[in-house]
Amino acid sequence: MTNFEKQVIDLKSAIDVQENAVVSKMLTANTASSLTLFAFDKNQSIATHTAPVNAVVQAVEGEVEITISDEKFILKEGEIILMPEGEPHSLLALTPFKMVLFKV
């Protein structure tokens, strides 16, 4: 889905963790922002990269280590982290993990 429609989404059941994989599901996007669900199996990661926009990660389930500009943060279910545009960042799932990525 990429259109912005009225609906209730159960974030925990909207995406499933797959063995030895990182999976994603775009909920909505436009030229200015996007909202994407991710599910990581334990020890799966996203390599260091930068983004041209600010981003917010909300932990839906599990635990992840997020590194932003060489500073490590542990994010747990129900917590969010703000990631400034242009700063290098990476993710490592410490447990099976689900998150929402808001690019703003």
pLDDT tens-digit profile of 6-62? 889 999 999 999 999 999 999 988 888 899 999 999 999 999 999 999 999 999 999
Is 17 inside a domain boundary?
A: no
> Is residue 2 very low, low, confident or very high in pLDDT (cuts 50, 70, 90)?
low
Q: 77 is in which domain, residue-wise? A: 22-103
Is 82 inside a domain boundary?
A: yes
Quick one: pLDDT at residue 51? Answer: 92
CATH of the domain at 99: 2.60.120.10
Quick one: pLDDT at residue 31? Answer: 83
Quick one: pLDDT at residue 3? Answer: 67
Q: 72-88: per-residue pLDDT in tens?
A: 999 999 999 999 999 99
d(CA 59, CA 24): 14
CA dist 44 → 39, 52, 54, 76, 97 (Å): 10, 24, 23, 16, 9
Is 94 inside a domain boundary?
A: yes
Is 99 inside a domain boundary?
A: yes
CA dist 100 → 44, 70, 72 (Å): 16, 22, 19
d(CA 85, CA 104): 9
Q: 87-97: per-residue pLDDT in tens?
A: 999 999 999 99
How many structural domains compose the chain?
1
